[in-house]
Chains A and B, each alone.
Chain A
Amino acid sequence: MNPSQFAYQRAESVEEAIALLEEHGENAKLIAGGHSLLPIMKLRLAEPETLVDIGHIPELRGVRQADGEIAIGALTTHHQIASATEVRSAVPLLADTAARVGDRQVRNRGTIGGAVAHADAAADYPAAILALDASIVARGPQGERRIPAREFFLDFLTTALQPDEILTEILISRPAEGHGWSYQKLANQASGYAIVGVGVVVALDGQSAVADVRVGVTGAAAVAWRAEATETALRGQRLDDGVVTAAADLVDGGIDFLDDLHGSAEYRRRVTRGLTRRAIVEAAGRARQG
């Protein structure tokens, strides 16, 4: 199984990559680890004329601290995110999500920038990116801009990135000390992809009531979403079974669930509600009060 023919160019800097994107327009695609792009190129679902390899640009690699935020370079692999001490301690939801992407070999090659820019409906990261209210940094001919997670995932394989923009890093505000988190996932047994994935971040106040909560859902629909009705139903509440169940049942407000060989729409709806319930309970269990 081969991809169609293409021309290959290796960019040594972000600027060079942007110039190549400008030159080739929509006929060019960026490649880093290639673990999202090559599979669909082999299936001829994507047939770019030019591949611009950004996999060797040092500036795009690694995790750094940036003014109350953690910046994760686009080329940072899932394995690096899962094992980086600073990510595990400050943003355990992201580290845990990364540890559960695909399998070991995939985590060694696949990058967070590639996965987020590709925006596969069944990708793991969107749940965490939404629950963490992260920002996606994109650079293009007009300069750099920050895109809030909620405005980034637009539709199936479609994001707010312009064709001549490069995703350079993901910025995450450090969640409050003592926050609770959970990523609950029903994985496809063969590929590891999320049939449904739910990410939750929660902070409790001194009375064990929910001070803040965010819920991101991936896999279940064409595009990942923030479950705002669930969040509203939880805020200010002490989490007994009734509150959690009622809030989780609001998770799908207006969403069209995917209906395919991995699960019917009704199955996905029920799994999504169930995993949302579990994620809230686990996150609250991990949260320290006040």
Chain B
Amino acid sequence: MPIALTVNGVERRAEVEPRTLLVQYLRNELALTGAHIGCETSQCGACTVLMDGQAVKSCTILAVQADGAAVTTIEGLAPVGTLHPVQLAFWNEHGLQCGFCTPGMVLSTVALLADDPDPSEESIRHGLEGNICRCTGYHNIVRSVQTAAKNLAAGATPEPLSSRDSAQAR
């Protein structure tokens, strides 16, 4: 089955078996392994990507259903060598431990803040219900989202990785 879609700004054409899941296409064909396969039952959110700007679980979408869509994975969130303000906030606020859930958490946060730039703690917890973290207990994740919201509101843009120290000092 032929499909054509845009992934991280690059137009892609491929021939896929209809039963190929979007997450399998991203990982196996495009080597975008930031979309993680966790529970495979649309519960854990590790496979979250943005599809036409909305957070979706790529383990529960067929690649053929994504035909014509624009998909963003964690790899395409910020230019190579830089970190998106949400990524930087997760780093600085220790919003991750093992990191397995983090790409999904970050992309869900990006979608959440696009809809609601100044969310309450309750909205953050409700908005991230579809992303399960087994390490952190979520408190630092909520803090990361709050910090990201504050920095984005102040006009933050992706920063080179080397600016991490200056970012922490702020």
Interface residues of A (CB under 8 A from B): 1-8, 10, 31, 34-35, 38-39, 42, 51, 53, 55, 79, 102-106, 108-109, 190-192
Q: Which of B32-71 contact A (CB under 8 A)?
A: 40-43, 45, 48, 54-57, 60-62, 64-65
Which chain B residues lie closer than 8 Å to A51 at the CB level?
A: 18
Besides A34-B61, A105-B42, A105-B45, 18 new A-B residue pairs in contact (Cβ under 8 A), listed by A number = A1-B40, A2-B19, A2-B21, A5-B17, A5-B19, A8-B1, A34-B60, A35-B60, A39-B60, A55-B65, A103-B130, A104-B129, A104-B130, A105-B56, A106-B42, A106-B130, A109-B56, A191-B43
Verify if B112 is at the interface (C-beta below 8 Å from A). yes
CB of A34 to closest CB in B, whole Å = 6
Report which of A4, A10, A55, A106 forms a contact with B57, defined as CB distance below 8 A. Answer: A106
Task: Give B1's nearest chain A residue, CB to CB.
Answer: A8
Cα distance A108–B18 in the bound complex, in angstroms: 22
Report which of B40, B48, B62, B126 forms a contact with A105, defined as CB distance below 8 A. Answer: B48
Report which of A1, A6, A38, A104 forms a contact with B112, defined as CB distance below 8 A. Answer: A104
Interface residues of B (CB under 8 A from A): 1, 17-21, 24, 40-43, 45, 48, 54-57, 60-62, 64-65, 108, 111-112, 126-132
Knowing A102-B130, A104-B129, A105-B48, say if A38 contacts B18 (CB, 8 Å).
no
Report which of A6, A31, A108 forms a contact with B56, defined as CB distance below 8 A. Answer: A108
Cα distance A192–B41 in the bound complex, in angstroms: 12
Say yes or no: B65 contacts A53, CB within 8 Å.
yes
Say yes or no: A53 contacts B61, CB within 8 Å.
no
Knowing A104-B130, A191-B43, A192-B129, say if A4 contacts B19 (CB, 8 Å).
yes
Cα distance A26–B20 in the bound complex, in angstroms: 23
Cα distance A108–B48 in the bound complex, in angstroms: 12
Knowing A34-B61, A55-B65, say if A7 contacts B18 (CB, 8 Å).
yes
Task: Give A56's nearest chain B residue, CB to CB.
Answer: B68
Cα distance A191–B54 in the bound complex, in angstroms: 20
Can you sample 18 A-B contacts with CB below 8 Å?
Answer: A1-B40, A4-B19, A5-B17, A6-B19, A31-B62, A34-B65, A38-B61, A39-B41, A42-B40, A42-B41, A102-B130, A103-B45, A103-B129, A104-B126, A105-B130, A106-B57, A106-B60, A108-B56
Cα distance A1–B64 in the bound complex, in angstroms: 17
CB of B74 to closest CB in A, whole Å = 15
Which chain A residues lie closer than 8 Å to B60 at the CB level?
A: 34-35, 38-39, 106, 109
Task: Give A187's nearest chain B residue, CB to CB.
Answer: B129
CB of B64 to closest CB in A, whole Å = 5
8 nearest interchain CB pairs? A103-B130, A8-B18, A103-B129, A108-B54, A105-B130, A1-B40, A105-B57, A3-B19
Report which of B48, B62, B129, B131 forms a contact with A34, defined as CB distance below 8 A. Answer: B62
Report which of B40, B41, B64, B127 forms a contact with A104, defined as CB distance below 8 A. Answer: B127
Which chain A residues lie closer than 8 Å to B45 at the CB level?
A: 103, 105
CB of B135 to closest CB in A, whole Å = 17
Say yes or no: B18 contacts A6, CB within 8 Å.
yes
Task: Give A79's nearest chain B residue, CB to CB.
Answer: B54
Task: Give B39's nearest chain A residue, CB to CB.
Answer: A190
Report which of A35, A38, A39, A105 forms a contact with B108, defined as CB distance below 8 A. Answer: A105
**Residue among B18, B20, B42, B112 having the largest count of chain A Cβ atoms under 10 Å:** B42
Which chain A residues lie closer than 8 Å to B130 at the CB level?
A: 102-106
**Residue among B56, B60, B61, B127 having the largest count of chain A Cβ atoms under 10 Å:** B60
Task: Give B45's nearest chain A residue, CB to CB.
Answer: A105
CB of A27 to closest CB in B, whole Å = 14
